[in-house]
Amino acid sequence: MREIKFRAWDKILKEMFELPFGKNMFWYEENRVDDLTDYEVMQFTGLKDKNGKEIYEGDIVNYGNYTDNDKPCNEEIIFENCSFVGREIRKFGDKNAVSMIGKDCEVIGNIYENPELLT
């Protein structure tokens, strides 16, 4: 069974933090977070990259270069149709099952702290 974990991007403070999971799930620095409008919540995919780093939705992963143009093949991890997928950023926007790229990819950032990776 995969571990259920969450993290959140604080839109005001511009920082990422882990959210505890359970009865009192949304607590941050001793304060209860009832209004999630100032946060982007992301779930752990249950997978780790080739370096052992956990992969969350919103992460940007790299799994090498395209063979036809030697440019980085980066994907944004999204949750779509009840599953996590990696959506190509630069080429065609193709989607790949995260389970297919998890062990061979490397987390290089996320869409909030590294928006430059989306171009």
Say if residue 36's pLDDT is above 60: yes
Is residue 42 assigned to a domain? yes
pLDDT band at residue 38 under the 50/70/90 scheme: confident
Mean model confidence pLDDT for the chain: 81
* Domain tally, the chain: 1
Mean pLDDT along residues 67-75: 78
CATH of the domain at 13: 2.30.30.290
Q: Is residue 62 part of a domain?
A: yes
pLDDT above 80: residue 103? no
pLDDT value, residue 16: 92
Q: Does 1 fall in a domain?
A: no
Model-level pTM?
0.80
Domain for residue 88, yes or no? yes
Q: Which amino acid is at 16?
A: M
Q: Are strands 27-28 and 6-10 parallel, antiparallel or unpaired?
A: unpaired
Which range marks the domain in which residue 78 is found?
6-118
Does residue 97 form part of some domain? yes
Q: What's the whole-number mean pLDDT along residues 19-47?
A: 69
